[in-house]
Chain A
């Protein structure tokens, strides 16, 4: 499915202004992506005809595994080139002049590894040098920021997953970037570490653009100023969390279902959440029509909005069968 000018998208579209009123009309933005595609030699598309533009803040890139988030981020980070389309950073074509972005870029790839035998300080010094950053003070400052200063002289091979990720974010920020790209940074982290990491990213959004990819909605709902939803290599939505939730209004239902009925409903409906309690299963169902007689309307959450969008969104009209 190719949605080049979906109503939720910003960017240089022919008719973006008739969509949501807040901030989607084209204005000069930090990052502009025009009809970008990545086709691999196998013939498969990693990303397909993607267009959008964003200014500062935190852009949450949501989508299931294999949606093309990583490929899109790698193209923006100049790690791989698109097979079609253009990417502009502050109106500079970064495919023609990648260094213009690279000087202002911080990138934390998915499943970022470390060199086990280096200490945290040595590891960070290495990346600081690669990015042209001089001075030990900056390294100490970054280690302090990610709360690793007390283990600066320890080999990073012995670090926990969370500590390694924090070291990863420190290397991404060491050159004080304007654009920060973090790919699935919370994967494998425990809940406490996940919240801490989220807060760090939220603070980063001030005065720069942070692109954060995840397939977990809760990772972005509290920090993202805009959310892009990807599916099968295409961008299916781009808007603020509020607008996404507003679009899902009237399609989210809550119902308490007996266990057996829930099992049946689950097979035919889009369930965005369920909690088993003594009186039955408290389920949230995304559906254009009342899914079961006892269902009542509920306020959409971002999780609901995500599911709503993934299953076809406003115009998609995927009508679930009513279960008696």
Chain B
């Protein structure tokens, strides 16, 4: 449920309020607004853009993700699993000689170990990305925001959650209005 943008009526009930959303048209203005929101000291806020906006991570002060470490670990696991699988099946559980070749030799086992490395790492990259992002999350208050509909199209949004300790409906609303947005919307839970 969304409130009208022009309506400043406070729902008075903090639990009912998710936060505020402001939308912007131009990247330059948007990035400037983002730095201002960051410098105002909010912690539970976010930006929503139709594509990856370069420089936005720095503007928001987002730290680098730990995803590469997860993927590296998964790749190592895959490699180990690949080698262990070949060693166990062909050298331990059912050893059989093929044209006098060694029962277990690394060169012959590289392709499968390599493919397993890639497979594990790639799956962990997607699953890890989704897990770190808390996706899939099919139900979220922002999905009912009217302005958010354009965040996958052509508008750039800033959302500030009411749960943020610095959030005060009137003051935060004024802050967002002062940044020159197209519109500001109150989003309820």
- A associates with B: no
Chain A residues with a Cβ under 8 A of chain B: none
Chain B residues with a Cβ under 8 A of chain A: none
